[in-house]
């Protein structure tokens, strides 16, 4: 028989490691080819990884919470049928299996204590809505899989334990210890890497009166098409047009190779807050998008990000990122560059301020702008010119919809 040592491959753009979030199978289970066996999480998304062959699970290479490097063994499967010679084609699914032939019989083992119960995503969602911990549910399905009926039956039983966060509480000192897991751990690693970049920052305030007037004028048209028009698509469009005159900011930097990759297309990322943490979807070739297209794509990709359904392709390959912290009522902030990108633009809350108007004090709606750049790639003079061009476009917003 053939024993498949199933290894973790690069499940996304340049991913070096992934965290095991959930095992969908246990040792001794019979799995079929392309059946989802494990969910892993990178700094971009959660990914279901399928089995490369039909066979019996002989061992699991990690427990929930472990972080595996690319090339590490995920699991071993003893194939029960013929193994294709082109098993390397499974790499396209995010896996790099390696096969070796052995002669031994299959054995069935009980579920390992570090493996989560076997259940479908819909069943897990039902359990979560009922506050039921699947560890307390006995499965009646194949290989002990928990069904919706099992969850409902458990929910009607007395003394059901509710699921809770993975925390350890020290009652003696009044301190709660929370394990850094999943997306939060990935964000922590990414942000630590980002702070190695020598940031330079430019701030500017502009009169947003004309911008808000144009948005109000166009909003009814967008509502008829089912899209709520915010100022964000205009901010995106202004950055995209300014990048055409300042291509050094539309780049990615490989510090190890000492290479700057400058792009013709703007692959625009936009920071999106989710329940699990910050995620940055990417609109590829956004330089071809109108304000209307930017608005609809922002809504679509943000929804995918918030439900953790965005693909690695939709979360990678960015060349420039914007963050609109004004949507949370924040006046201004200092955004952090996402490596290997070399710049990021942030926009604060539009608010009334007294500013000079035709030589006299006047009250206007003012938009704060901040752009952070990698000082290894761009100097202050370049950054100032770039921010000034963004400001000019927003001061004359009709140029954004031509």
Structure tokens belonging to residue 365: 């709606």
| Helix extents (H) in 286-359 | 291-306
Backbone CA torsion sign across 318, 323, 324, 327: positive
Of 102, 94, 89, residue with least CA distance to 4:
102
DSSP state of 341: B
From the candidates 288, 375, 382, 389, give the one annotated as an active-site residue.
Answer: 375
Q: Which residues pair with 7 in a beta bridge?
A: 73, 96
Instruction: Determine how many CB atoms are found less than 10 A away from the CB of residue 138.
Output: 10
Q: How many whole angstroms separate alpha carbon 214 and alpha carbon 100?
A: 65
- Asked about 379 being catalytic, the answer comes back as yes
Give buried/exposed letters for 320-356 (b at 16+ CB in 10 A, else e).
bbbbbbbeeeeeebebbbbbbbbbbbbbbbbeeeeee
- Asked about 375 being catalytic, the answer comes back as yes
SS3 of residue 8 by DSSP: strand
> What DSSP line would sit under 84-150, residue for residue?
PTTGGGGGGGTEEEEEEE--------PPPTTSPPPB-HHHHHHHHHHT--GGG----SGGGPBPHHH
Strands (E), 183-299: 199-207, 251-254, 259-262, 268-270, 272-273, 278-279, 282-283
Structure tokens belonging to residue 49: 């990884």
Question: Using an 8 Å Cβ cutoff, are 183 and 321 in contact?
Answer: no
Of 335, 352, 338, residue with least CA distance to 387:
335
Residues with catalytic function? 375, 379
């Amino acid at each position: 028989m053939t024993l498949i040592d199933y290894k973790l491959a690069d499940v996304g753009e340049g991913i070096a490691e992934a965290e095991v979030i959930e095992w969908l199978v246990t040792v001794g289970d019979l799995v079929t080819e392309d059946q989802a066996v494990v969910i892993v999480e990178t700094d971009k998304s959660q990914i279901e990884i399928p089995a490369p062959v039909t066979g019996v699970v002989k061992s699991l290479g990690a427990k929930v919470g472990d972080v595996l490097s690319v090339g590490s063994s995920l699991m071993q499967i003893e194939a029960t049928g013929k193994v294709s010679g082109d098993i390397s084609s499974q790499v396209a699914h995010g896996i790099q299996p390696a096969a070796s032939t052995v002669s031994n019989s299959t054995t069935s083992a009980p579920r390992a204590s570090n493996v989560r119960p076997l259940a479908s995503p819909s069943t897990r969602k039902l359990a979560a809505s009922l506050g039921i911990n699947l560890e307390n549910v006995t499965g009646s399905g194949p290989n002990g899989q928990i069904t919706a009926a099992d969850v409902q039956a458990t929910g009607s039983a007395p003394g059901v334990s509710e699921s809770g966060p993975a925390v350890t509480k020290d009652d003696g000192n009044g301190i709660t210890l929370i394990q850094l897991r999943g997306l939060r751990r990935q964000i922590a690693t990414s942000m630590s890497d980002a702070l190695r970049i020598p940031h330079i920052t430019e701030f500017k305030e502009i009169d947003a009166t004309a911008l808000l007037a144009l948005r109000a004028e166009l909003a009814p048209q967008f509502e008829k098409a089912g899209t709520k028009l915010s100022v964000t698509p205009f901010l995106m469009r202004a950055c995209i047009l300014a990048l055409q005159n300042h291509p050094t900011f539309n780049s990615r930097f490989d510090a190890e190779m000492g290479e700057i990759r400058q792009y013709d297309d703007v692959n625009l990322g936009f920071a999106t807050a989710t329940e699990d943490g910050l995620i940055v979807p990417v609109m590829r070739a956004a330089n071809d998008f109108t304000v209307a297209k930017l608005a609809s794509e922002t809504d679509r990709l943000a929804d995918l990000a918030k439900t953790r359904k965005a693909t690695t392709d939709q979360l990678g390959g960015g060349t420039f990122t914007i963050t609109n912290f004004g949507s949370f009522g924040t006046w201004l902030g200092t955004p952090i560059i996402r490596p290997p990108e070399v710049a990021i633009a942030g926009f604060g809350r539009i608010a009334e301020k007294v500013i000079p108007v035709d030589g006299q004090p006047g009250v206007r709606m003012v938009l704060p702008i901040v752009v952070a750049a990698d000082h290894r790639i761009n100097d202050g003079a370049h950054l100032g010119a770039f921010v000034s061009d963004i400001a000019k476009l927003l001061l004359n917003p009709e140029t954004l919809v031509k």
